[in-house]
Amino acid sequence: MARPEGPAELADALAQRAYLADRGLVTALHLAHRLGRPLLLEGDAGVGKTEAAKTMAEVLGARLVRLQCYEGIDRSQALYAWDHPRQLLHVRTLEASGERPDQHESELYTRRFLLPRPLLTALEAGDGAVLLVDEIDRADDEFEAFLLEILSDFQVSIPELGTITAARPPMVVLTSNRTRELSEALRRRCLYHWIDHPDVEREAAIVRARVPDVPDGLAQRVAGVVARLRALDLHKPPGVAETVDWARVAVDLGGHLDAEVAADTLGVVIKDRDDLATVRGVIDEVVGIEA
């Protein structure tokens, strides 16, 4: 598969896969790929950070390797582990055949019993992979420091097997919803881009790209109502995926979005009880009169 040579080609390739990125994001993705530098994407939940990595993998014809971060994640869950049940089965097989397991101990720590986790998988795939480190802000400081080591050298040392180095580094995309501040060391290692919610015109275009049977006017209207919802002081403002879902629902319910339809389907875009109460109190004002 031919890979895009410049930002313009990359923007077209992303758009062909229904991912409409603005010029700044396209440039950041292009530079991260060309320079071999990790790209840190920050922004509110639902603005398309994870989708950017997924679509980039499709464009490059690469395998997407996803490391989902969470509180308490450690290196064995991210890098590799030994397959203890298989090792135990191997020992019992040796005993059953009259062998002494202690004379075969080294066999228990070979590739046969190694379980690669996302980081090792991506290192071994090299530039045939896009490594998505999703929601790095949910991991703790210790894991972030460990990750920084991996991203600096793109290699890992396994005591029983030696050092494994990526022949060519995979493209790396880290995402953060800013639930905590990341270290300056990690930020310095990465290129950085902030993704904002799209404006009404861009969001309507995204809706049209992902819901082919939506009329232009309805796409514009749904995007406009969602923009007014985001202007409210909500705990969880709707993301782009919710906008697309709401457009699909509006098409299914007759192709319009008036105050009554909006009130009946608010759960598609509002996912918090307090937010629902807030929006229901101003639903006529937010939805307005349908043209």
Convert the pLDDT of each residue in 177-186 to its tens digit.
999 999 999 9
Sequence-distant (6+) residues with CB within 8 A of 267 are 276
What does the pLDDT look like over 58-113, one tens digit per residue?
999 999 999 999 999 999 999 999 999 999 999 999 888 888 878 877 888 999 99
**Residue 290 confidence (pLDDT) above 60:** no
**Residue 160 confidence (pLDDT) above 70:** yes
Beta bridge partner(s), residue 63: 129
Q: Which helix (H) or strand (E) holds 157?
A: strand 155-158
What does the pLDDT look like over 18-51, one tens digit per residue?
999 999 999 999 999 999 999 999 999 989 999 9
Q: Are 79 and 119 in contact (CB under 8 A)?
A: yes
Question: Could you say which DSSP state residue 260 is in?
Answer: H
**Residue 288 confidence (pLDDT) above 80:** no
Q: Are 151 and 32 in contact (CB under 8 A)?
A: no
Burial of 90: CB neighbours in 10 Å, binned 0-12, 13-18, 19+: middle
CA 220/CA 242 separation, integer angstroms: 15
What does the pLDDT look like over 162-200, one tens digit per residue?
999 999 999 999 999 999 999 999 999 999 999 999 999
**Residue 291 confidence (pLDDT) above 80:** no
Sequence-distant (6+) residues with CB within 8 A of 13 are 4, 59
**Residue 1 confidence (pLDDT) above 80:** no
Residue 278 pLDDT level (bands cut at 50, 70, 90): very high
Distances (CA, A) of 286 to 47, 175, 205: 21, 31, 21
Q: Are 76 and 117 in contact (CB under 8 A)?
A: yes
Beta strands 155-158; 162-165: pairing state: antiparallel
Nearest CA to 67 among 52, 81, 79, 82?
79
Sequence-distant (6+) residues with CB within 8 A of 204 are 216, 219, 220, 222, 223, 224
Residue 3 pLDDT level (bands cut at 50, 70, 90): confident
pLDDT of residue 100: 83
**Residue 289 confidence (pLDDT) above 70:** no
Q: What is the mean pLDDT of residues 125-133?
A: 97
